[in-house]
Amino acid sequence: MNTKTQKNNSKKFSIEVMPRTAKKVDNFKRILPEKTTVYVAHLEDTPVEEMFATCKRLISEGMVPMPHIPARIISNVGELEDWVKEYASFGVEQSLLLAGNGKTPSGELFNSIQMLESGIFEKYSFKKIQIAGHPEGNPDIDKDGSLEKTINALKIKQDFARRTKLQVGITTQFCFDLNPVIKWLEILESEKIDLPISLGLAGPTKLQTLIKYAIMCGVGPSISVLKKRAKDLTKLLLPFEPTEIVNALDLNKKNKLFKNVDSLHFFPLGGIEASASFAKNIGSTAA
């Protein structure tokens, strides 16, 4: 662990699990601070019952679950309401809404804006909704490599946030380089998008694993940082840790562009225990 990371300013953090990886953790209290927000990823082949069971368990172990709800795997608004009603019945009050990875929607829903505007989350007293942010673009949305459509979608969602009592924030895809993030933040500022941001980081993992996930997730400009690191054989054999970007964030705290970055979100590509340990070692607190 790089001990040069500053600990004098605590950083709020959240972390992500899948139902199948959650089963490998004997007790979340052992590895995470009480009330840590734990995102629960809902993949296409994950039965919703496993999502419910994982969220119930997280609550019982003192965590705050944030289940993903991907629009494209839901058949209709009625099914969405069934899910939200069930989550609310055992204490879930927040969710990350996203379109999902499927190219073809299962039914009438295909993006998070539709789910927001359904009114279902207010009906079941949800307090907080996160939406996806893509500092390096999303090739499924902006096929030309620009950020135009993803930024327009954020503007629509911010307009929604101003009309509702729901707390709406942005959780970004993971990154390895602050330069694309800074350019994205500049665009948000110019478009007057000021939703709170949870900045996504890849937790400690093997470099080869990280490059594989980066390619799968369309993280473009940041991949060059990983490839440069891979050329150094002394670093190739060591786990990647996001220490440099965390320290760079500390240095940029006085930059007004970062005023809305209020927490870190760890994608535990190398295992949740490694990411939890890293987060605690940089002086992070539960978000």
Q: What element of type H or E holds 66?
A: strand 64-70
Q: 11-205+242-286, which class in CATH? A: alpha beta
Closest to 154 measured CA to CA, from 173, 177, 134, 176: 134
**pLDDT tens, residue by residue, 77-91:** 999 999 999 999 999
Closest to 225 measured CA to CA, from 186, 179, 260: 179
Fill in the DSSP letter of residue 218: T
In three-state secondary structure terms, 182 is: helix
Q: What is the pLDDT of residue 8?
A: 39
Q: What whole-number distance in Å separates Cα of residue 125 and Cα of residue 117?
A: 15
Q: What is the pLDDT of residue 10?
A: 55
Q: What element of type H or E holds 40?
A: strand 37-40
Alpha-helical regions (H) of 107-240: 112-117, 120-123, 148-161, 178-190, 207-217, 223-230, 233-236
**pLDDT tens, residue by residue, 19-51:** 999 999 999 999 999 999 999 999 999 999 999
Retrieve residue 115's tokens. 């789910």
How many angstroms separate the Cα of 50 from the Cα of each of 21, 38, 42, 157?
12, 15, 9, 29
**Domains in the chain: boundaries:** 11-205+242-286
Q: What is the pLDDT of residue 265?
A: 96
The CA-based diameter of the chain, rounded to the nearest angstrom, is 55
Q: What is the pLDDT of residue 174?
A: 86
In three-state secondary structure terms, 266 is: strand
CA atoms within 13 A on the CB side of 117: 11
Higher pLDDT, 269 or 236: 269
Q: What whole-number distance in Å separates Cα of residue 102 and Cα of residue 124?
A: 27
Q: Where is mean pLDDT largest: 38-42, 202-206, 208-212, 252-256? A: 38-42
Q: What is the pLDDT of residue 41?
A: 96
Does pLDDT of 209 surpass 50? yes
Does pLDDT of 139 surpass 80? no
Does pLDDT of 4 surpass 50? no
> What is the end-to-end Cα distance of the chain in Å, rounded?
22
Q: What whole-number distance in Å separates Cα of residue 128 and Cα of residue 119?
A: 13
CA atoms within 13 A on the CB side of 223: 13
- Quote the mean pLDDT of the chain: 86
